[in-house]
A and B are shown apart, each in its own frame.
Chain A
Amino acid sequence: MLAELGLAALTLALAGALYAIVACLYSVRAGEVRWLQSGRNAALLTCPALLLATGALAIALLTEQYQLSYVYQASDPGTPTLYRFTALWGAQRGSLLFWSLLMSGFIAGAILLNWRDERRLMPFAIPIMMASLAFFVGLSLFIENPFERWWILVDMPAEQQAVSSALIPPRAVPPSEASLQAGAEGMNPLLRHFGMVIHPPMLYLGFVGFTIPFAFAVAALASGDLSNNWLRATRRWSLLAWLFLSLGLILGGRWAYDVLGWGGYWGWDPVENAAFLPWLVGTAFIHSVMIQEKRGMLKVWNMLLVIAAFSAVMFGTFATRSGVIDSVHSFARSEVGFPMLAFWAAMTLLALALLAWRWRQGALRDERQFAALLSRESLFVLNNVIFIALFVAIFWGSFGLPITSELFLGKEVTIGAPTFEFYVVPLFIAMYILMGVAPLAAWGGMALSRLGGMLRLPLLLTALSVLVLTIIGTDLLVAALGYGVVLFAAFVALVEVARGVAARRRLLGENPLRAFVALFGRNQRRYGGYIVHLGVTVIGIGVIGSTIFQTEEQHTLNRGETVTIQDYSLRYEDFLRAQAVDGRLMNIASLVILRHGDEVARIRPRIDEYPQLPMSIAGAHSTLENDFYVLLIRGDRQRATFRIYINPLVNLVWWGGLLLILGTAIAAYPKAQR
């Protein structure tokens, strides 16, 4: 029953989306607003329809209806309830449906909240959003249908009897419950982690979120309303998408750190990079859009960035979901490759063609000129140069080069961390410096001496902290300088906030706390932005600490033996094998961590043996100063081999991430309408 319900709901969603496209475009031609209203209603209908479809799949997963081949593929009788639910996005078909649901939710929000103010853009924005949605719903219906069921064709020879089909084939009977339960494949072990519960939804929200700015930008181009209306409509949506994408990336890092077992959180894996690329363009956009708002410049460029962000999302989706790029977290090979590529190209070319058309018309002419080389806008342009360079380099390393090499040279290559670090590190250094200078520069231009004056205090603080760091024993000058570069941006942000508070106190006589709160309330974007910058600094400190100063050793210990690394000691206490409820065999080592001779923690790194692959789950003792992170490599009751990492300051990466999220939330939080 659930399968039929799901199929019906999916079909309804597709029909609704297609009708909305036609009705909205017809409303332009007919000039009648009721067609637009009808189209809007159809567009809004897709959200409940997809909710119904996703709900049906979720219930099928929770109630173990293994006749649905998706349930059969993504779970088994041993799967715990929580993971039964997260199996919804654990494999290709379910995650495509879930993706469509999130997209329709975002779209419904964008239509409802912007309906009154942006009526002129709606006849074009709704069709663009609905075309994207219809594409993904179509994929779910026709290529990767999550509601396919197993059937036994009684007339066929034994080995061709079992088929998976959405519709009931003639002369077919459902397979027996017992055979289904016995055959169920179960969830990919890598996904059985708490991080997987929320990392994919956040990432998907970030991805689908970029549909909204894209749709409004294209609508602006199509309708000819090239005022700042589309920016106003999409500013918060792009911040929101950026927020979710950031959150998704941070949670993904955390998941990798906990589950993938290599002592790191970012591996420059193509799938990670596919998520990082839209983030880079998005970051460039949320900065350069301010130039357009404040100065009416760079209109073409901002359009390009919005198009590029959506395009990057779609290309990344193509690359990771079609099996073109192999990676830890890519999906299995699938037939969705060609349709996705075609969709990517169609949307990108449509948007670019519209942009070129309006550009030729001269409708996107800048309202002002760059007045001075040293101005906020010129530094923001430099910021864009850096982000675009990062984008190109990372795109080339993760997709361009491997694809070119395989196609033209017949060679498979792996582009690993060293290559990426080679070009990314200098660009990040430039980014941090700019992050410090740009917020101080004034719109329109300013004298160098004035900028120098404003930089004096942050620079002094930076120099002081570098000095302190070298004295208290950061023996690597590179690291001290790295900390300096990163801290500089933070000092600028802090000094700016302090000056704002001081100005309010002086002029309004407010107490510091009130002044502080009011400062953020009055100018959310500016001061929220400072918090984001602080967060990025804290992340930077964590990254520098945990990469430059990481210690990594492998030791084989007899039971009862102790090994000492820096001021930690590790004693191998015990080893046990146990079977978990889901049938996997766990090899657990029990270890005692001592610091300066005192016991500080007991950890139990383990290896889980799944039929597909063994997985190493780290044990870690975490403090703000560092993580003592241990992986079990192999072992038995007598001897065991451990890989031991000391990751200094790694927790700052997560804390910085939280700060970044907080800052973005402040900047994006809707102001009360007055």
Chain B
Amino acid sequence: MTGIERATPRIAARWGCPALLLGVVLATLVLGAQLAERNRGRPASGPAPDFELRLFTGESIRLSDLREQVVLLNFWASWCPPCRAEAPDLQALHEDFASSGLRVIGVNMLESSPAKAKAFIDELGIGYANGEDIEQRIARLYRVEAPPESFLIDRRGQVRHVYIGSIRYAIINGKVESLLAEAA
């Protein structure tokens, strides 16, 4: 047996186990850190994650195309009673502020069938844009746990406020007005 042939397994035997253990620890560390970073919580400030939403009406909208408008992003489901409660207020916001640059976008999540979502929209006479969040991609981007949750995004695409649970016109309209008053 030559020296080299003997040396290779010896190096493996000497360093294999420590290297393996170190590798496992480091891999776990990196994965854990990435995950902890992702799960820190809802993006309560900073740039709003971009997404594309296919609306029930057929066309698609992309958040980054809505720069210079204030966006109220609302996650909802037809089975959730607070969503039903807040829908008229959202509709009123849409009616009052659409002309000054507010876009209300409804993201329908965890719905058992699209038909139910459409029935909800028709029943409550909702006029703002709505679409289904396929595979919960958008909800995951925004770390939504359960509907309803809403995010208010300013004209520069920054998340400014997060609302967990149902929102009320009287509580949010002042906020919307002040964001609309800001320059893009």
Chain A residues with a Cβ under 8 A of chain B: 304, 315, 318-319, 322-324, 333, 335, 337-338, 341, 344-345, 348-349, 352, 356, 360, 400, 403-404, 406-407, 412
Q: How long is the Cα–Cα vector from A643 to B129 in the complex, in angstroms?
A: 41
Q: How long is the Cα–Cα vector from A324 to B38 in the complex, in angstroms?
A: 8
Q: Which 7 A-B pairs have the closest CB atoms?
A: A337-B36, A356-B18, A345-B29, A341-B32, A333-B41, A324-B35, A403-B31
Stretch at the interface among B1-9, B20-28, B66-74: B20-28
| B32: contacting residue among A304, A349, A403, CB under 8 A | A403
| A352: contacting residue among B22, B40, B41, B136, CB under 8 A | B22
Is B33 part of the binding interface, using a Cβ–Cβ cutoff of 8 Å? yes
- On whether A348 and B31 interact (CB within 8 A), knowing A322-B36, A323-B39, A337-B36, the answer reads no
Is B140 part of the binding interface, using a Cβ–Cβ cutoff of 8 Å? yes
B34 touching A335 by the CB < 8 A rule?
no
Q: Could you give, for residues 22-64 of chain B, a 1 whenever the CB lies within 8 Å of some chain A CB and a 0 otherwise?
A: 1001001101111110111100000000000000000000000
Complex interface: chain A residues within 8 A of B35 (CB)? 324, 403, 406-407
Q: How long is the Cα–Cα vector from A344 to B32 in the complex, in angstroms?
A: 11
List 26 A-B residue pairs with CB atoms under 8 Å apart, sorted by A's residue number. A304-B21, A315-B28, A318-B32, A318-B36, A319-B32, A324-B32, A324-B35, A324-B36, A333-B39, A333-B41, A335-B40, A337-B36, A338-B33, A341-B29, A341-B33, A345-B28, A345-B29, A348-B25, A352-B18, A352-B22, A404-B31, A406-B35, A407-B31, A407-B35, A412-B136, A412-B140
Q: How long is the Cα–Cα vector from A404 to B14 in the complex, in angstroms?
A: 30
Complex interface: chain A residues within 8 A of B29 (CB)? 341, 345
Q: How long is the Cα–Cα vector from A114 to B119 in the complex, in angstroms?
A: 71
| A337: contacting residue among B22, B31, B39, B140, CB under 8 A | B39
B40 touching A407 by the CB < 8 A rule?
no
Complex interface: chain A residues within 8 A of B25 (CB)? 345, 348-349, 352
Complex interface: chain B residues within 8 A of A400 (CB)? 31
Closest Cβ–Cβ distance, residue A135 to chain B (whole Å): 16
Name the residue of chain B whose CB is nearest to the CB of A326: B145
Chain B residues with a Cβ under 8 A of chain A: 14, 18, 21-22, 25, 28-29, 31-36, 38-41, 136, 140
Name the residue of chain B whose CB is nearest to the CB of A319: B32
Complex interface: chain B residues within 8 A of A322 (CB)? 36, 39
Q: How long is the Cα–Cα vector from A349 to B21 in the complex, in angstroms?
A: 9
Complex interface: chain A residues within 8 A of B39 (CB)? 322-324, 333, 337
A352 touching B28 by the CB < 8 A rule?
no
Count CB-based A-B contacts (< 8 Å). Answer: 53
**Chain A facing B: main interface SS:** helix
Complex interface: chain B residues within 8 A of A406 (CB)? 35, 38
Q: How long is the Cα–Cα vector from A499 to B33 in the complex, in angstroms?
A: 55
B34 touching A407 by the CB < 8 A rule?
yes
Complex interface: chain B residues within 8 A of A304 (CB)? 21
Q: How long is the Cα–Cα vector from A407 to B34 in the complex, in angstroms?
A: 8
A341 touching B36 by the CB < 8 A rule?
yes
Q: How long is the Cα–Cα vector from A322 to B32 in the complex, in angstroms?
A: 10
Closest Cβ–Cβ distance, residue A280 to chain B (whole Å): 16
Complex interface: chain B residues within 8 A of A335 (CB)? 40
Complex interface: chain A residues within 8 A of B38 (CB)? 406-407
Closest Cβ–Cβ distance, residue A277 to chain B (whole Å): 13
Among A315, A341, A412, which residue has the most Cβ atoms of chain B within 10 A? A341
11 extra interchain contacts, Cβ-Cβ under 8 A, other than A319-B32, A406-B38? A323-B41, A333-B41, A338-B36, A341-B29, A341-B36, A345-B25, A345-B28, A352-B18, A352-B21, A352-B25, A412-B136
Name the residue of chain B whose CB is nearest to the CB of A300: B17
Complex interface: chain B residues within 8 A of A352 (CB)? 18, 21-22, 25
Complex interface: chain A residues within 8 A of B34 (CB)? 407
Closest Cβ–Cβ distance, residue A436 to chain B (whole Å): 32
Complex interface: chain B residues within 8 A of A333 (CB)? 39-41
Closest Cβ–Cβ distance, residue B16 to chain A (whole Å): 12
Among B14, B31, B36, B41, which residue has the most Cβ atoms of chain A within 10 A? B36
Q: How long is the Cα–Cα vector from A335 to B40 in the complex, in angstroms?
A: 7
Name the residue of chain A whose CB is nearest to the CB of B28: A315
Q: How long is the Cα–Cα vector from A245 to B101 in the complex, in angstroms?
A: 58
Q: How long is the Cα–Cα vector from A335 to B35 in the complex, in angstroms?
A: 12
Name the residue of chain A whose CB is nearest to the CB of B161: A159
Q: How long is the Cα–Cα vector from A130 to B160 in the complex, in angstroms?
A: 42
Closest Cβ–Cβ distance, residue B34 to chain A (whole Å): 5
Among B31, B38, B140, which residue has the most Cβ atoms of chain A within 10 A? B31
Q: How long is the Cα–Cα vector from A341 to B35 in the complex, in angstroms?
A: 11
Name the residue of chain A whose CB is nearest to the CB of B137: A410
Q: How long is the Cα–Cα vector from A360 to B18 in the complex, in angstroms?
A: 10
Closest Cβ–Cβ distance, residue B145 to chain A (whole Å): 8
Q: How long is the Cα–Cα vector from A341 to B39 in the complex, in angstroms?
A: 13
Q: How long is the Cα–Cα vector from A406 to B14 in the complex, in angstroms?
A: 35
Closest Cβ–Cβ distance, residue A315 to chain B (whole Å): 7
Q: How long is the Cα–Cα vector from A318 to B32 in the complex, in angstroms?
A: 9
Name the residue of chain A whose CB is nearest to the CB of B36: A337
Complex interface: chain A residues within 8 A of B21 (CB)? 304, 352
Closest Cβ–Cβ distance, residue A266 to chain B (whole Å): 25
Name the residue of chain A whose CB is nearest to the CB of B21: A352
Among B21, B32, B140, which residue has the most Cβ atoms of chain A within 10 A? B32
Q: How long is the Cα–Cα vector from A338 to B40 in the complex, in angstroms?
A: 9
Name the residue of chain B whose CB is nearest to the CB of A402: B35
Q: How long is the Cα–Cα vector from A344 to B29 in the complex, in angstroms?
A: 9
Complex interface: chain A residues within 8 A of B140 (CB)? 412
Closest Cβ–Cβ distance, residue A363 to chain B (whole Å): 15
Complex interface: chain A residues within 8 A of B14 (CB)? 360
Q: How long is the Cα–Cα vector from A409 to B21 in the complex, in angstroms?
A: 25
Closest Cβ–Cβ distance, residue A356 to chain B (whole Å): 5
Q: How long is the Cα–Cα vector from A400 to B140 in the complex, in angstroms?
A: 19
Complex interface: chain B residues within 8 A of A344 (CB)? 32
Complex interface: chain A residues within 8 A of B32 (CB)? 315, 318-319, 324, 341, 344, 403
Closest Cβ–Cβ distance, residue B134 to chain A (whole Å): 13
Q: How long is the Cα–Cα vector from A307 to B53 in the complex, in angstroms?
A: 48
Q: How long is the Cα–Cα vector from A141 to B28 in the complex, in angstroms?
A: 27
Q: How long is the Cα–Cα vector from A322 to B29 in the complex, in angstroms?
A: 14
Closest Cβ–Cβ distance, residue B116 to chain A (whole Å): 20
Name the residue of chain A whose CB is nearest to the CB of B30: A407
Complex interface: chain B residues within 8 A of A323 (CB)? 39, 41
